[in-house]
Amino acid sequence: MKALHRSIWREIYQSKARFLSILLIILLGVSFYAGIKATGPNMLNTADHYYKKQDLMDTKITSPFGLTKDDIAKVAAIDEVKKVQGGYSLDLNEPDKNQVVHVMSYDLDAKRNLNQPVLTSGRLPEKAGEIVLDQRAKELKLAKIGEKLDWSEIEGHEKLNQKTYEVVGFVNSPLYIDKISRGNTSIGKGSIDYFALIPQTDFVDGDFSEAFVQYKETPKESGYSDGYDRLQSRDEKLVKKALKKSARDKYDAQAKNLAEGQKELTLGLQKLADGQKIIETETEKVDTQIKQLTQQGLSSGMLPVELKEAQNKLAQEADKIADQQHELEIKQSELAESQNLFDKLSAKDNIYTNRKDDAAYKEYQDNADRLSSIATVFPVFFFLIAALICLTTMTRMVDEKRGEIGVLKALGYTNWEISRKFIVYAITASITGSLLGLVVGYHVFPTIIYNAYGSLYNLPELIITYYWSYSIQSVVVALLCTVVSALVVLRVDLLSTPATLLRPKAPKPGKRILLERIPWLWRRMNFNQKVTARNLFRYKQRMLMTVLGIAGCAAMIVTGFGIRDAIGDIVDIQFSRIWHYDATVVLNDDVTKDGGKDYRAQRDEISNVSAHLALAQKTVTVEKKGVTSQDVTLDVPEKNKNLADFVTFKDRKTGESYHLDQDGVIINEKLAKLFDVKSGDQLKIVDSNNREYQVRVSHIVENYALHFMYLTPEYYEKIFAEKPEYNVDLLKFKKELSETQEKKLAQDLMNSENVMNVTYTSAIGKQMDDTMGSLNIVVWVLIVSAALLAFIVLYNLTNINISERIRELSTIKVLGFYDREVTLYVYRENNILTILGILLGSVLGKFLHNFVLKTAEVDMMMFPPIIHPISYLYAALLTILFSLIVMWFMHQKLKHVDMIEALKSVD
């Protein structure tokens, strides 16, 4: 038995190349499977750990009427609430710098603030007049530690107790994990550049402008899990219930104050009008008396003193009334603005938002989910190829040891004892490869991919986690690939008699192949070509395995390049070929009252605007049983004929162009797929007031980002029984603007009373390009991994090919073939099989590419399912490159073949 044990380890030592090839295939398969599978969960786990460490809020409460200490106490009294913290915030526009800063309060007295900032340099505020800034401000070189910020001339500074602040540090905040975007605002250019934290006592005393709530149960769940969403939603309802009456009371009190203010204003204006009438009457009397005296011949210097005093007194009273009128006009303007803001409130309640209302928070989850989706397809396909090659390798090993198995059976060893050699060999290679693969996979793949997102998010280093489920799955599959393969192949030999096993297998008989039955073609082939053709058809199993192995690797490389094409195309197609406008101006409700005269006047002064289109835009929800509800932007163009200049409507497959008609809507392709809708079908939509409507789908068009629905003003009136309110203006520029010019134009437009926000298509495209670009590293990981697998597959199959035919190759070498001719003798077959594998892989790659894209897509996005021809070429050249490298290695091996030893075996 000891001899048998020594034989097992001797076999591993003597067949190092085979053992290493199995180990490498398993290592690559396991590392790819476990690594890609772990990347998405690792990303979410790292972010969740960061949120919990920094005490990120679960709910944010804001109120246009402010939140009192009593409100905070009511929330704190809820059993499910762990902590509630009131705070202040203020947006300040620095016109000289063209920067908008979002200033938030930091409670110096709190043991620990919610949304605890992460210090990157310097220190946190410790007293009044100190400030810490967003790390982005440091990166943009807007300030440095020790610098004084003077806000005494900035509008809104009156809400602060301090006018000058000293920068004492820079921080990141869990409220802003996006490295660039800081949200929108209603002042300046419409977007926030960076945030700042100052002591809470530096805000003028008054009701809190916001409050952050953290619940007791939510930390038990991952922030990105369904369990967290369920708990957060449940506890938030309790907070809403606790503050509902208070919010309604404030709403009613504000309504009452506005009514009383309006009443006082009306009385004041009436009183002023009455006083003005009296003054006018008295002035008229005096003027009449003066006129009479003047007619009697008195000069102005001889008029009675009483008349002059009366005249002066009336002039003073007139001035007082003018001043009072000016004050009342200011009060009237302020009251009208307050009334306007009050009228915009959609409900008598506070505004409640949570983590998922933050675009960056949700986008990060979408990115992780995309990786998880890719991990459900690619690694499995990867493992199938590895299993195929392991089966071939173990089959060859059993065939080589056929005689040894016969000797062991003749000596009386049992089938189990004989099998142990192959089982131990397979287990050793599998377990070693799996363990190394798990270490490499869990550390390398997630780290590379996570770091690719480092340019997008302010998050800490990746937390590496070893997942037992993926580890066990990997090891089990690896063992199945090798051990089961060996036992299946070994089963036939173990059932054979020793005498049969001790005799070499008869070589496969030569047969006439198909080409020989085509005389005119066969006669024109030379000797080498005929030998190559016969060998290909003679060893059909080897041919099939080689073609399938290469095809699988080529398919994954094609898929990788195809995903890269989809990522690269989505921004170009969406923002150049489908959307043709350059800016979107969002207008307020005043536009519907005065037609937006203020804004239109400003827009018409901009010489760079070549065209514009007014839209009525609002968000609706599309619902269907069994399908996740989707938010859809509903657009109604004021002038239908101009819409084609701003948005292209066409069928992605046929290229047919469409236009809006009077009896239906146009929707995007992804929305139609999600709800299984075709042209002519009805679609249910729900507005913000929970009212349901049915619309008919006229056309389905190409679109890759977000969901849209377009309809004519006439059809809108028919569906909603109201006229559309045109609250958005699309602008086209004559020439492209620089980033500085865009900021300047946005700020100019935001000065209009009608404008709420300005966004540029270029900025949206750049942000989307950055997000999609981060996926490129994932694509290259897929491509490189597939390429490495292709190399190992080619090396392994070629090595098996040469091992099986070593006597044949030695024979032709003895007959006088040169080393190069011997190598080409083998590689003519390999080249043909490689080309066949590439062709088959290109076809398989297209199907795999489509499947991966559909799996990796999120609901709000669609990838262009087109693979560029150059990508097929890249995949082919990469596979051929590895084939040439393997050829060079095999050429070195063939040059040193021991011909005499090889020819000693008996046929």
pLDDT, one tens digit per residue, over 281-324 is 767 766 676 666 666 655 555 556 666 666 677 677 777 777 77
DSSP sequence for 808-856: HHHHHHHTT--HHHHHHHHHHHHHHHHHHHHHHHHHHHHHHHHHHHHHH
DSSP-based three-state secondary structure for 210: strand
One domain for residues 602 and 727: yes
- Give the integer Cα–Cα distance in Å for 309 and 312: 5
- Give the integer Cα–Cα distance in Å for 119 and 172: 7
For the chain, what is the largest distance between any 2 Cα atoms, rounded to a whole number of angstroms?
A: 158
One domain for residues 602 and 612: yes
Q: What is the pLDDT of residue 211?
A: 93
- Give the integer Cα–Cα distance in Å for 428 and 482: 10
Q: What is the pLDDT of residue 851?
A: 82
Burial of residue 851 (CB within 10 Å: 0-12, 13-18, 19+) is middle
Asked which of 162, 196, 230 is the last residue of a domain, the reply is 196
Asked which of 707, 738, 765 is the last residue of a domain, the reply is 765
DSSP state, residue 482:
I
One domain for residues 729 and 806: no
One domain for residues 690 and 808: no
Residues in Cβ contact with 200 at an 8 Å cutoff, skipping those fewer than 6 apart? 87, 88, 105, 106, 107, 108, 109
Could you count the other beta carbons within 10 Å of the beta carbon of residue 467? 17
**Residue 273, pLDDT above cutoff 90:** no
If pLDDT is split at 50, 70 and 90, which confidence band does 207 have?
confident
One domain for residues 758 and 878: no
Cβ proximity of 194 and 101 under 8 Å = yes
Amino acid present at 9:
W
Return the percentage of the chain with pLDDT > 70, whole number: 88
Instruction: Look at residue 416 and tell me if it is in a domain.
Output: no
Instruction: Look at residue 236 and tell me if it is in a domain.
Output: no
One domain for residues 97 and 122: yes
One domain for residues 544 and 608: no
- Among 44-53, 88-97, 389-398, the range with the most confident prediction by mean pLDDT is 44-53
Residue, of 591 and 213, whose pLDDT is higher: 213
One domain for residues 590 and 731: yes
- Give the integer Cα–Cα distance in Å for 88 and 562: 49
* Closest C-alpha to 588, from 102, 190, 95: 190
- Give the integer Cα–Cα distance in Å for 259 and 257: 5
**Residue 716, pLDDT above cutoff 70:** yes
pLDDT, tens digit (0-9, with 9 covering 90-100), for 245-269: 887 777 777 667 767 767 776 777 7
Instruction: Look at residue 582 and tell me if it is in a domain.
Output: yes
The region, left, alpha or beta by phi > 0 then psi within -120 to 50, assigned to residue 183 is: left
What are the distances in angstroms from CA 827 to CA 530, 712, 812?
14, 66, 15
- Give the integer Cα–Cα distance in Å for 498 and 502: 6
Structural element, H or E, at residue 458: none
Cβ proximity of 138 and 174 under 8 Å = no
* Closest C-alpha to 830, from 862, 797, 854, 859: 797
Cβ proximity of 345 and 251 under 8 Å = yes
* Least confident segment among 196-205, 563-572, 578-587, 595-604: 595-604
Structural element, H or E, at residue 323: helix 305-344
Instruction: Look at residue 240 and tell me if it is in a domain.
Output: no
What are the distances in angstroms from CA 86 to CA 45, 205, 582?
29, 12, 40
Q: What is the pLDDT of residue 175?
A: 93
Cβ proximity of 249 and 74 under 8 Å = no
The region, left, alpha or beta by phi > 0 then psi within -120 to 50, assigned to residue 98 is: left
Show the domain range for 105: 91-196
One domain for residues 748 and 799: no
- Give the integer Cα–Cα distance in Å for 610 and 587: 20
Residue, of 894 and 899, whose pLDDT is higher: 894
Structure tokens of 277?
Answer: 């009438």
One domain for residues 721 and 840: no
DSSP state, residue 178:
B
Instruction: Look at residue 311 and tell me if it is in a domain.
Output: no
- Give the integer Cα–Cα distance in Å for 192 and 173: 15
One domain for residues 713 and 844: no
Asked which of 703, 733, 765 is the last residue of a domain, the reply is 765
* Averaged pLDDT of the chain: 82
Which residues are paired to 119 by β-bridges? 171
Which residues are paired to 89 by β-bridges? 104
List b or e across 885-907, with b for residues whose CB sees 16 or more CB atoms inside 10 angstroms.
ebbeebbeebeebeeeebeeeee
Structural element, H or E, at residue 201: none
pLDDT, tens digit (0-9, with 9 covering 90-100), for 527-543: 777 777 777 777 677 77
- Give the integer Cα–Cα distance in Å for 313 and 696: 74
Instruction: Look at residue 809 and tell me if it is in a domain.
Output: yes
- Give the integer Cα–Cα distance in Å for 346 and 677: 32
pLDDT, tens digit (0-9, with 9 covering 90-100), for 695-710: 999 999 999 888 999 9
**Count of domains forming the chain:** 3
716-731: average pLDDT? 88
Q: What is the pLDDT of residue 738?
A: 82
- Give the integer Cα–Cα distance in Å for 126 and 142: 22
Structure tokens of 586?
Answer: 């969002």
490-517: average pLDDT? 75
What are the distances in angstroms from CA 849 to CA 557, 703, 784, 841, 863?
10, 19, 16, 11, 11
One domain for residues 787 and 749: no
Instruction: Look at residue 501 and tell me if it is in a domain.
Output: no
What are the distances in angstroms from CA 640 to CA 636, 649, 662, 813?
9, 13, 11, 80
